[in-house]
Amino acid sequence: MGFDNLTIIGERINPGFRSVAALFDNDDIAGIQALAVRQAEAGAAYLNVNCGRRSLTDPDFLRRVIEAIQDVVDVPLSFDFPNAGVQELCLNVYDFDKAGGRKPIVNSIAQTRLDMFALTRICPFKVILMASERVEEGVGRSNRTAGEIHETARQLIEAAHQSTGSFEMDDFIIDVSISTMAADRDGLTRMALDGIGLIGSDPALKGVHIMGGLSNIGQQMPARAADGSPLGQKLENAFLTDAVPLGFDFLLGTPWKDYAPLGDDDYVLKTFREVIALSGMDALRATRRLYRAG
Amino acid sequence: MTTLKEDYVASIADMDEDKALEITQQLIDAGEAPMEILGLCRSAMEIVGQRFEQEEYFLPELMMAGDILEQIGALVRPLMDANSEGSGQTVHGTVLIGTVHGDLHDIGKNIVTFMLELNGFKVIDLGIDVSTKAFLDAIAANKPDIVGLSGFLTLAFDAMKETLDAFDDAGIRNNFKVMIGGGQVDDQILKFTGADAFGINAMEAVNLCRKWTGVAA
């Protein structure tokens, strides 16, 4: 692990990963347990649990998965369902004793579903707050500036404090959302980094955590960078190299990946920094240089 | 020896923006019909699409080609408006698109929107976390030829099915085609939701819309 103070929420228990989908299709609880153990042993501080559609249609299965995971690991869980009913089931099943008394994470609450703060009636929890979207005139909208991300984070925390729940700043994990660079004509990666900077330096938000899921960043691009290195992994590390010093301290990721800072002379990091300084066609041209020489 | 038109198609397909715009102006100055120029652009986009499918090109190239076409369109469309009344902007059809309720992801939807507009479709984008009622209201107001339901989360598949069920309940399901996309969609999800087709990338969405609206390949 190359970054100090970077907490990993293991992302692998999710049928969205093709290699994992079969475990869910076949009710392979032992396989899911093995995946939980592997992530915990690799350093995950939390395990994200996403059962896909079955979380809505098969509550008994969801219950069995949570209990089975807690039978084999003592790390707290992160329940990844944007649905109050499913979260209610998860929080009721969650065994604090098996997690050493540590709180689970509700993943996630956005301005479009503030009623989920009321889930604290079941038990205390940490919560991932989606700062990438806001509600405007009753409609959910994606944020397009770092200032909007920062403001949304502040509003979400204010809403949490005004709810019936009792939250400490340490309970808030602000998700800034990290976009696919291959489609980033609008400077969204720059926006995420600037948003992290604003949140990380805001005295009113002191003590909160800042996170994002990195697996999107290298999507829709080839496997290898122009210098022959693994492009996806390098892009994830390039982002972390610049984000961690700004306050980014939680990562939804794969714990056995080699997350480590890149040197300033690294080809992918240098090109990454060129790309995020640009927008429009210029950004796309620079993005091509990540994987196309010349 | 290649002709100017062959050079033109190649310049767009090879992402040579400066050359593409230079030849566009040459063709305009030479009196080439605007529709002929746009036809050459379509040929270039087919090459780009093929290279994308063969993994020679990736998403950045797809978007760059789209951007080049936008610039060419800005040069050519005023001539069409001036020369042929009412035929300036060919609209192949109207596509209503949105990310279904419970899902806030919009990157894939935005790319599809972008590519559809470039390919001559009028796109009405309802945004993210779109309720079933919002879809029904927008369909009543806009009478789309195609509805696109986007969702990245696996949970979005249920919202897609709910939305399609609402179309059924409202008795409007057969008034338009429905395509889904945005996440790990496959034949099983297609069957589950009851949509007409799915696309795993923006080019597939464009091809579906072209097929459904009878646009020549």
Domains of chain B: 4-83 (1.10.1240.10), 93-212 (3.40.50.280)
Number of folded domains that form chain A: 1
- Report if residue A118 sits inside a domain: yes
Q: Which is more confidently placed, B119 or B143?
A: B143
Q: What is the pLDDT of residue B88?
A: 44
Mean pLDDT of chain B: 86
Please list every residue in chain A whose beta carbon sits closer than 8 Å to the beta carbon of residue B183. Answer: 16
**What is the mean predicted confidence (pLDDT) over B133-153?**
94
Question: Does the pLDDT at position B84 exceed 70?
Answer: no
Closest CA of chain B from A79, distance in Å:
13
Q: Is the pLDDT of residue B217 over 60?
A: no
Q: Is the separation of the CB atoms in B24 and B75 below 8 Å?
A: yes
Domain ranges, residue A65? 7-289
B16 CB within 8 Å of a chain A CB: no
A18 → chain B, closest CA residue: B184
- Whether A1 is in a domain gets the answer no
Q: Is the pLDDT of residue B97 over 50?
A: yes
Give ipTM to 2 decimals. Answer: 0.81
What does each of the 294 residues of chain A score in pLDDT, given as a tens digit?
A: 589 889 999 999 998 888 898 999 899 999 999 999 999 999 999 999 999 878 888 999 999 999 999 999 999 999 998 889 999 999 999 999 999 999 999 999 999 889 999 999 999 999 999 998 888 877 777 888 999 999 999 999 999 999 988 899 999 999 998 988 998 888 999 999 999 999 999 999 999 999 998 988 998 899 999 999 999 999 999 999 999 999 999 999 999 999 999 999 999 999 999 999 999 889 999 999 999 986
pLDDT at B89: 52
**Are the C-beta atoms of B49 and A270 separated by less than 8 Å?**
no
Q: Which of A79, A47, A8 is nearest to A257 (CA)?
A: A8
Q: What is the 3-state secondary structure (H, E, C) of chain A?
A: CCCCCCEEEEEEECCCCHHHHHHHHCCCHHHHHHHHHHHHHCCCCEEEECCCCHHHHCHHHHHHHHHHHHHHCCCCEEEECCCHHHHHHHHHHCCCHHHCCCCCEEEEECHHHHHHHHHHHCCCCEEEEECCEEEECCEEEECCCHHHHHHHHHHHHHHHHHCCCCCCHHHEEEECCCCCHHHCCCCHHHHHHHHHHHHHCCHHHCCCEEEEECCCCCCCCCCECCCCCEHHHHHHHHHHHHHHHHCEEEEEECCCCCCCCCCCCCHHHHHHHHHHCCCHHHHHHHHHHCCCCC
Contact B183 A185 (CB under 8 A): no
B193 close to B165: Cβ distance less than 8 angstroms: no
Q: Which of A3-12, B32-41, B90-99, B165-174 has the lowest average pLDDT?
A: B32-41
Residues 160-189 of B with CB under 8 A from A: 183-184
- CATH number for the domain including A149? 3.20.20.20
Cβ of residue B4 closer than 8 Å to a chain A Cβ: no
Domain-located, residue A198: yes
In this prediction, residue B86 has a pLDDT band, given cuts at 50, 70 and 90, of: very low
The reported pTM is 0.81
Chain B touched by A82 (CB under 8 Å)? yes
On whether residue A219 sits in a domain, the answer given is yes
From chain B, the residues in CB contact with A284 under 8 A are 60, 63-64, 67
* pLDDT band with cut points at 50, 70 and 90 for residue B90: low
Give the list of residues 6+ apart from residue A229 with CB closer than 8 angstroms, or none.
A267, A268
A99: in domain: yes
